[in-house]
Amino acid sequence: MRETHLNRRAIIAAALMCGAAVAGQAMVPTKRLAVLRGPFKLEDLVPSSFANWRVDDRSVSGIVDPQTAALLDKIYSQQLSRVYVDDAGRRIMLSIAYGADQADDDVQLHYPEVCYPAQGFRVKGNRLDKITVPQGTIRVRRLETQFSDSRFEPVTYWTIVGDQQSLSGWDRKISEIRHGLRGEIVDGLLFRVSSLDRDYANGFRTQDEFIRALVLTLTPAARRQLVGLA
């Protein structure tokens, strides 16, 4: 009798273990959000001219050593770097990096407050801020960076993980869980603008002007992917 009872408990335990394994497997994301989005090119999403801004093909946004370039190619599926100039001669450096798979720690987005010091910059200021556009609010991070005594570079950036703005580990985790419940593997995008200006406040004002003008020209699909706004 006791043996029968033990066998029954063993069968129940085995059944529960199998059920947990099946449930766990069902919760493992298998659909890549990047695939569900369909193919796209960053250079097609971002216009080369808008408002009074246009791409300045004579300028370069910076020199990246081969080792850094190789690392960036490993991390990101696509990258776009441009320098824009307006009618007054003001220049904005635009950098967008897209990673198709954010589930792997080795290929997750690399943030400017980490990358800039790695290239010899000092980060003198680091704060959260917001930019208001007709479609909503863009949550951004502002960095005041300096290289030696000659290059003063205010930086504004934001990231999109899955389909929402993300500026913290908590934001990222929420997005991963929400998409994971739908069986989706999140992608990620980092959108950065910077300029050369000893007056950081003035630099940020120019960047905001550039960002607002750009967002107004984006298609709804491009705006959702690049800004996280409908």
> Of the segments 27-36, 116-125, 206-215, which one has the largest average pLDDT value?
206-215
pLDDT digits (tens, 9 = 90+) for 4-52: 554 555 554 444 344 433 334 445 656 666 666 767 899 999 999 999 9
Give the per-residue pLDDT at 15.
44
CB atoms < 10 A from the CB of 65, how many?
A: 9
Cα 161 to Cα 33: distance, rounded to the nearest angstrom: 10
Helix (H) or strand (E) holding 191: strand 188-194
Q: Locate all alpha helices (DSSP H) within the chain, ordered by sequence.
A: 2-27, 33-37, 42-45, 66-75, 112-118, 169-180, 200-217, 220-227
Give the per-residue pLDDT at 35.
60
Choose between 22 and 185: higher pLDDT: 185
Helix (H) or strand (E) holding 46: none
Work out whether the CA dihedral 95, 135, 223, 100 comes out positive or negative. positive
Work out whether the CA dihedral 64, 68, 73, 75 comes out positive or negative. negative
pLDDT digits (tens, 9 = 90+) for 137-179: 999 999 999 999 989 999 999 998 877 787 766 666 666 666 5
Q: Are 193 and 97 in contact (CB under 8 A)?
A: no
What residue type is assigned to position 139 of the chain?
Answer: R
Share of the chain above pLDDT 90, in %: 50
Name which of 115-129, 156-170, 211-225 the model is least confident about.
156-170
Q: Which single residue is written with the structure tokens 């790695």? A: 118
Q: pLDDT grade, residue 114 (50/70/90)?
A: confident
pLDDT digits (tens, 9 = 90+) for 61-75: 554 444 455 555 666
Give the per-residue pLDDT at 209.
98
Helix (H) or strand (E) holding 150: none
Cα 145 to Cα 112: distance, rounded to the nearest angstrom: 10
| Rg, C-alpha atoms of the chain | 23
Can you point out the beta strands (E) in 47-121? 49-50, 53-55, 78-86, 91-99
DSSP code for 22: H
Choose between 100 and 91: higher pLDDT: 91
107 pLDDT more than 50:
no
Give the per-residue pLDDT at 92.
95
106 pLDDT more than 60:
no
Q: pLDDT grade, residue 78 (50/70/90)?
A: confident
Q: Are 27 and 21 in contact (CB under 8 A)?
A: no
Rounded to two decimals, the pTM is 0.78
Q: Which single residue is written with the structure tokens 């005041």? A: 144
Cα 221 to Cα 108: distance, rounded to the nearest angstrom: 23
